[in-house]
Structure 1
């Protein structure tokens, strides 16, 4: 099983990309069907998931090793950023502050910036970042998000190391008989 996953980096990157797309779809389900509004930190985590999905998807689709390595590096940076944001939100949920602030409110952004720079409606955050609205097995969405981002980071790092330090398969020279 390990050889199947790490033996083919393109397949592994495609699986990570599909996992990110599934997580984004579940987030949209929670928002539009269940009725949970994402907070600003949740929005940042969505952006990180989109970036991980895009970079791993491009890495899986690329034919060259250099493009694959670049995609993995960019995906790793996005996954680490998502893990940091999820860990910060988990900390806020475990130790809520007395005064709730987790970013600029949407009305302050609209008053400060022109309307053309406002975020699209799908990524508009509202709500309290320290509030726990949904749990599964005793863990909040931020906790599960951290676990996923940490897992993606570890997988991408191992894949990157395997790809960089793996010996190239010997190519058989084409021999023509005349």
Structure 2
């Protein structure tokens, strides 16, 4: 049954999953609960948006053959990048309290005052804000849930990359 799904439908599904994830993060977590995203959270959001854009472009373009594989590879790269960042975030949350990095400046401040490469380096290192667990669902922190999302997105992207598309 899965083999009969059109590649276009799978790409639309990936784009929809990314959109729903971002709507949940912004409207529920940020606006309703008032949780401000840390720099690592913002970086993970960039990865979700990038994957969603690649998937939407693929769905609209509806390429065949290698074109489909290129879009699927771009989605897989975005999901891998996001999973790596989410993994780092989870690792920070499990550090002993005495090993947690000190809290740093906001992402906006770093972007305004530091060179871009230095900002990226500081964001990837994470800080004390990133180590806090602000909200959980089913015992999983937001970064753990996001890591799970990225792993699902990566699995679907790899399946889309490696499968033989149904003939229409």
TM over 0.5: yes
Q: Identify the residue that residue 51 of structure 2 maps to in structure 1.
A: 52
Q: Assess if the C-alpha contact under 8 Å between 2:11 and 2:56 holds in 1.
A: yes
Measured against aligned partners, the alpha-carbon deviations of 1:8-56 in whole angstroms (never above 9, x if no partner) come to: 1110111111011000001102112210010111001000000010001
Q: Identify the residue that residue 157 of structure 1 maps to in structure 2.
A: 158
Q: Assess if the C-alpha contact under 8 Å between 1:83 and 1:149 holds in 2.
A: yes
Q: Assess if the C-alpha contact under 8 Å between 1:38 and 1:127 holds in 2.
A: no
Matching of residue 25 in structure 1 with residue 23 in structure 2: yes
Q: Aligned partners of 2:42, 2:102: CA distance in 1, in Å?
A: 12
Gaps of at least 5 residues in structure 1 are 119-125, 172-178
Gaps of at least 5 residues in structure 2 are 120-126
> How many Å apart are 1:109 and its aligned residue?
4.1
TM-score normalised by length of structure 2: 0.81
Q: Identify the residue that residue 86 of structure 1 maps to in structure 2.
A: 86
Structure 1 or 2, whichever has the larger Rg, is: 1
SS in 2 for 1:95: coil
* Runs of 4+ deviating beyond 6 Å: none
Distance of aligned partners of 1:84 and 1:63 in 2 relative to their CA distance in 1, 3 Å threshold:
same
> How many Å apart are 1:67 and its aligned residue?
3.0
Q: Assess if the C-alpha contact under 8 Å between 1:76 and 1:157 holds in 2.
A: yes
Instruction: Output the aligned Cα RMSD.
Output: 2.7
Q: Assess if the C-alpha contact under 8 Å between 2:83 and 2:151 holds in 1.
A: yes
Q: Aligned partners of 2:103, 2:16: CA distance in 1, in Å?
A: 30
Q: Aligned partners of 2:35, 2:163: CA distance in 1, in Å?
A: 40
Query: Whose helix proportion is higher, 1 or 2?
Result: 2
RCO (CA 8 Å, sep 6+): is it higher in 1 or 2?
A: 2
> How many Å apart are 1:103 and its aligned residue?
8.6
Q: Aligned partners of 1:16, 1:10: CA distance in 2, in Å?
A: 10
Distance of aligned partners of 1:75 and 1:103 in 2 relative to their CA distance in 1, 3 Å threshold:
farther
Q: Aligned partners of 1:9, 1:156: CA distance in 2, in Å?
A: 10
TM-score normalised by length of structure 1: 0.77
1:96-115 equivalence runs, <5 A:
96=96, 98=98, 100-101=100-101, 105-106=105-106, 107-112=109-114
Q: Assess if the C-alpha contact under 8 Å between 2:72 and 2:157 holds in 1.
A: yes
1:126-141 equivalence runs, <5 A:
128-141=129-142
